[in-house]
Amino acid sequence: MHDREVAVTFQPLGKTVRAAAGTRLSEIAAGAGIALDLPCGGEGICGKCRVAVRRGAPPPGAAEQRVFSQEELGKGWRLACQTVVRDAMTVVVPETSLLASYHKILADVRGTTETAIDPPVRKQYVELPPPDRKNDEADLLRIQRAVGPIEVGLELARELPGRLRREAFRGTAVLADRDLIDFEAGDTRAMCHAAAFDIGTTTLVGMLVDLNTGEELAIASRLNPQTAVGDDVLTRILHTQKDPAGLAELQEMVVAAVNEMIGELAADADAPRESIYAVSFSGNTTMQQLLLALDSRWLGEVPFVPAAGRGLLVEARTLGLRVHPRARAHILPVIGGFVGGDTVSGILATGLAAAESPSLLVDIGTNGEIVLAADGKLSAAATAAGPAFEGARIEHGMRGARGAIERVTVDGGLQFDVIGNVPAIGICGSALIDLGAELLRHRIISPEGRMAAPDQLPGDVLPDMRNRVVADNGQVSFLVAAETETATGRPVVLTQRDVRQLQLASGAIRAGIVILLRRAGLEPRDLKQVLIAGGFGNFIRRRNAQRIGLLPNEIDPKCIRYEGNTSLAGARLTAISASARAAAEELARRTEHVDLATDHGFQWAFADAMIFPEGE
């Protein structure tokens, strides 16, 4: 009976996995790449791994009776570590039950560019002389006399006379650029916040910033709920076409998640939502258009034309955002259909445009965006690298969360590190690069990417490495972690197909780099600086990335630098600085958008890059 398999669906991810009946839900989640927070070690004590079972909830156990109220139990709340799955089940995993440290990776915003606080919203406390017969100036002009020239919208203008008098002509003027957007009772200058968001295809990361200091006050992240519709941008664009309500649906999904994050950020910083006067969004072109509910059909068809191009400044509430009622939302300008606001953010946050010698920015995500700065010119391309480095399309791939093998080294034998020092669940992007490099070094895979069968391995392969090469029905794979080393009790392997995915992903990026350099009349060795952006780059062994040809091996590894989540960093800058918004606009427009597909040399470069470089 324990061999019977049941289907478990995790929401809002929309991921369904099959598992043996009798397995604990926490283990099934881990096997599906969902890193639940289990600080008590799965003993049912801490209650952190709570999930809502929507279908197939078993009767609650003693630990759950203690943690939950009867009402909660009635609604299906259970602890994943205590729930043994016997039948098909659908569970909703709240963001709060996920491993919190994951946030820290996503929100790694480095201050490579010092930005003066030049906030788009400022506050000024004023004590105005009350009107009398000798001073009957209009209310708005009275405020203007204290704060300088201002405009006002109808909504606030209607209330202003009453508010001024209730507060005896004292209070805090809130100014967004030249617009008076509020007049608050008392001195509220200390409460002046902005929220910055990286809207990723897979992950949303938000940050609350103090507009007085530019300081980061809180961080939140969660899965982009649109993943339930599809894991890549084209599937989502298709969804807007199949269903007339599809665009609104996707927009509401992401806004609902953003609103939840805003609630978390506000609670963490002990700040009211209404003290958030500015919100900035950075994401790829599709994510930004879906957030705004712009007609995105033509983003999914050749020649992939964006709707706006320019950064947009819109009223936050027209997007449904629950912040100050007259807050504005800024959305970064984009460079092209697949080179979006996240790339503009990267250029802005790294200061790439100011580089004195040829420099490259590589964002290793689904599209693998590349930007070259050389001779004062910027050019950018998207490479369609695919999501291999994010764990997708890899047999045991996963994101860089707890349980992920994130580092592989070979010294006599193979060793690996797992995030959280727990039994392994799968392989994340950095370990994929390590594995590719080590298997090349040990000639288990050929430069063409072919994994040798056990009986075809060169004679001098280390015994531990040799023993890990297994063949099953003619399919060769490489054992990374044995059953005894994993949380699932099943081995974690790298397959021949996984190696092909790695070749495609790193080859696409390398070919893009080659083409951008060639168009600028440069060679890889001319590069003086390579900046890596993305949620996992910190853990890339630079030599390994060069070994597999992801990054050019002609440059000194010391010139390769990790820059963290530059999309979030750019959103933060545009949230706290009006001049950063202007700079983003200028950078987006002066960056040449290179369509690799129309470059005559690209197909050759790609084919060439599919072959791993000759190496050590």
Contacts to its own copies by CB under 8 A: 131-141, 144, 151-154, 157-162, 165, 292-298, 302-310, 312-315, 318-319, 334, 336-337, 593, 595, 597-598
Residue 332 or 451 having the CB closest to its own copies: 332
Residue 307 or 372 having the CB closest to its own copies: 307
Burial of 90 (0-12, 13-18, 19+ CB in 10 A): middle
CB of 268 to its own copies, least distance (A): 29
CB of 10 to its own copies, least distance (A): 33
CB of 370 to its own copies, least distance (A): 17
CB of 152 to its own copies, least distance (A): 7
H or E segment to which residue 426 belongs: strand 426-427
Residue 339 or 361 having the CB closest to its own copies: 339
- Which whole-number Å values give the CA distances from 430 to 240, 487, 535, 572, in the listed order? 34, 20, 11, 26
**Alpha carbon 354 to its chain's center:** 25
Residue 99 or 378 having the CB closest to its own copies: 378
Contacts of 5 (CB under 8 A, 6+ apart): 18, 19, 20, 21
**262 vs 95: CA distance, rounded Å:** 13
CB of 227 to its own copies, least distance (A): 23
CB of 151 to its own copies, least distance (A): 8
DSSP-derived 3-state class of residue 146: helix
On whether the CB atoms of residues 499 and 438 are closer than 8 A, the answer is no
Burial of 598 (0-12, 13-18, 19+ CB in 10 A): exposed
On whether the CB atoms of residues 21 and 5 are closer than 8 A, the answer is yes
Q: What is the dihedral of CA 452, 454, 459, 461, to 10 degrees?
A: 80
CB of 132 to its own copies, least distance (A): 6
CB of 313 to its own copies, least distance (A): 8
Residue 24 or 317 having the CB closest to its own copies: 317
**572 vs 567: CA distance, rounded Å:** 9
**Assigned token pair, 422:** 């727990």
Residue 519 or 593 having the CB closest to its own copies: 593
Residue 469 or 587 having the CB closest to its own copies: 587
**73 vs 36: CA distance, rounded Å:** 20
Residue 331 or 364 having the CB closest to its own copies: 331
